[in-house]
Chain A
Amino acid sequence: MLEPHLVLGVAPNADEATLRRRYLERVRENPPEQHPQRFAEIRAAYEQLRDPTERLKRQLFAVESSESLDDVIAELRLRVQGTRIPTTILFSLTGN
């Protein structure tokens, strides 16, 4: 099977916004109704690429990766910061 980033047609280190934009484009070109098989591949590739653990694993073990480990860790840190739940939402969850 093709590498997920090749299925979507993005660079291996594409950021989340690019991933999302490209995924939507590919889905519009290949609606599940008309191309179920192709859609399933696109979807599977997108799910793999956006999963942070999968992403990290791939980057760590990617042979052609030109990035240094420091880059990977820096990106991961950024991602973890990005997914942190804002305190306002935490407060709203506790009610009143």
Chain B
Amino acid sequence: METILGIDLGTTNSAVSMIRDGKAVVLEEDGQKILPSVVGLDGSGKLLVGFPASNQWTLAPDRTIRSVKRKMGSGETVRLGDQTYTPQEISAIILRTLKERAERLLGQEARKAVITVPAFFNEQQREATREAGELAGLEVVRIINEPTAASLTYNPNPEQLQRLLIYDLGGGTFDVSIVQTEQGVVEVLSSHGDTQLGGDDFDHLLMDFVCDKFREEHKLDLRAALTSRSRVLKAVEQAKCRLSFDAFTTLQEEFIAEQGGVPLHLNMELSRMDYEPLIEPLLNKTLVRVDEALSDAKLTAKQIDRVILVGGASRTPMVHRLLQEQLGQPIHSEVDPDLCVSMGAAIQGGLIAGVDLGPVLVDITPHTLGIQCLSERHGFPSHYHFAPIIERNTALPASRSEVFGTCFDDQEKVLINVFQGEHSDVRQNEAVGGIELEGLANAKRGHEILVRFDLDLDGILTVTATEKMTGLEKKLTIDNVMSRFRSEDREQAKQRLEAVFSGSDAAAAAERQPPTPEPDEDLSPEIKGPIDKARELLAQAERLLDDANQQDAEEMQELIDQLREAVNARAVDDIQDVSAKLDDLVFYLQDAL
């Protein structure tokens, strides 16, 4: 039987598992089960993935990308060296690394995979994940929710009905799901979450705390320069993990900055007492979600039999304490919180392949899906009323239909706009896509249109609108509409990744990597002055790139490239000319941002 890989594509760490002898095993290489979700280019333009990329981050933050999952489905892009990538492409590099790991260990090709996403990911984010898988050369047989995957690693055949609460706090996202297990059937009852809340946010809060304290003392902001900022961030991240075990820890970073020619060191003691108040508001937000999940499942805390922790950030002692207080019972984390998601994905892969592994899974959609329609809101007619069709927490696959009426006599067409969310005003929800049903028969208003939603196991939605009287029909599958790439773009992206990956493609590498400047020793002072200034300006401009809007960023990138070329050619006139232009733009942008 063909192996289906189970892949946890995490914000901070990723992992790959497969079924071996009826059990899920995490695949490890060089003693490492985890692959940090970090992608970078080394000094010579060679691709780095995982630990090597993570290690170079503090030295070369401009050539290293972390936490790209938080940008999935947003339409934002990221810069790596001199090139711009979509979050899907960076995720594809991570997925491909895991795929190759599995193939080395299997000794054969691995084409299929189940990839996990936070339960609260919306349609766009799921679609972006699927796309990343395809770019990596994987057939994504299923996108599965992370807490659901985690629940599959626990015994599916308890002696009596068992209700689990799964609290999944990862690097970038938070989910809580309530799962009921009985006689081999694992049913998800409800899911809630926050796709922008995780351990990364804890790091940033701690970094701000440390930098503010440092500034009070030295009148210097460590966040201002990219390298010192990333060093502090890495240091606080490690300190955060130490604080899970110790009540106190020390931050020590030598030569972190310079002030008037004097080097400055960061040397600070941190305690849990400093840290916990910083993250408490965020943890309280997660507790609200826990309550919502319980109320959606129509359960009280007492009816939960086990609380299971998933995700690296769930190791925080404060999480245990708050949950224990809130739910009034001990907390479990028997299966490694970093690995159980990928193991669950492998189990799901086995279930799809038809291997009998025990559980049968019934999952739900965590978001309500519906359409925009005309209705009365607060006594006034509004065009923005949200009419739910598939309510949240509905078991998948699901098909539901509703009848809507036209607004005017002889209306020729209806526009069906699909939204996802819980608000009664569509403007507060997420737009998913839309179709127009044209050429309606002449009829009085209230002419009936049937709207049918089919949501499959992947959460992919098909919308069908039918004119009841004539049978006129139009269909739309959301995963086509939301696709970020048209097929030819996808082909191009695939080739580009291929080039990045093989590393042998010298042309692509050369394009990515600016030519190395020659040593400066033999330069005459007339040339050295402008060149030094130009380099300073270049560094300044690059720091602004991320925050600038697309048009400004493109303009700036062009000037940066020109200036680099001029510097390398030692063409003083050009250097001064381009520098002046770039200086103006930098000045303007600094003002604007």
Contact = CB atoms under 8 A, between A and B. Distances in A.
Interface in B338-362: 351-352, 354, 360-362
Contacts of A89: 300, 302
Given A33-B457, A92-B302, A43 B184 contact: no
A93 interface: yes
Given A89-B302, A92-B300, A93-B300, A32 B183 contact: no
Contact of A28 (B185, B351, B363): B185
A9 interface: no
Interface in B434-459: 456-457
A52 interface: no
A51 B456 CA distance: 24
Interface string B178-209: 00001111000000000000000000000000
Contacts of A33: 351-352, 360-361, 457
A23 B301 CA distance: 26
Interface string A74-96: 00000000000000010011000
Contact of A31 (B302, B351, B396, B398): B351
Tell me the dominant secondary structure on chain B's binding face.
mixed
Given A32-B361, A32-B457, A24 B351 contact: no
B183 A36 contact: no
A27 interface: yes
B185 A40 contact: no
A34 interface: yes
Sorting the interface of chain B by its residue count into under 10, 10 to 19, 20 to 34 or 35 or more gives 20 to 34
B300 A27 contact: no
Interface in A19-51: 20-21, 24-25, 27-28, 31-34, 36-37, 39-40, 43
Nearest to B141: A33
A19 to B, nearest CB: 13
A34 B354 CA distance: 8
Given A33-B352, A36-B457, A40-B399, A28 B184 contact: yes
B397 interface: yes
A92 B362 CA distance: 31
A36 B398 CA distance: 9
Contacts of A93: 300
Contacts of A39: 362, 397
A36 B362 contact: no
Contact of B360 (A27, A37, A40): A27
Nearest to B354: A34
Select the residue from B182, B352, B395 with max chain A CB neighbours within 10 A. Answer: B395
Contacts of A32: 360-363, 396-397, 457
Contacts of B185: 24, 27-28
Select the residue from A32, A34, A37, A39 with max chain B CB neighbours within 10 A. Answer: A32
Nearest to B351: A33
Contacts of B302: 89, 92
Contacts of B399: 40
Nearest to A20: B182
A27 B185 CA distance: 8
Contacts of A34: 354
Nearest to B300: A89
Contact of A43 (B182, B351, B395, B456): B395
B360 A36 contact: no
A24 B187 CA distance: 10
A37 B185 CA distance: 17
Contact of B397 (A21, A24, A25, A36): A36
Select the residue from A33, A34, A92 with max chain B CB neighbours within 10 A. Answer: A33
16 contacts: A24-B182, A25-B183, A27-B362, A28-B184, A28-B360, A31-B351, A31-B361, A32-B363, A32-B396, A33-B351, A33-B457, A36-B456, A40-B398, A89-B300, A92-B300, A93-B300
Interface of B: 182-185, 300-302, 351-352, 354, 360-363, 395-399, 456-457
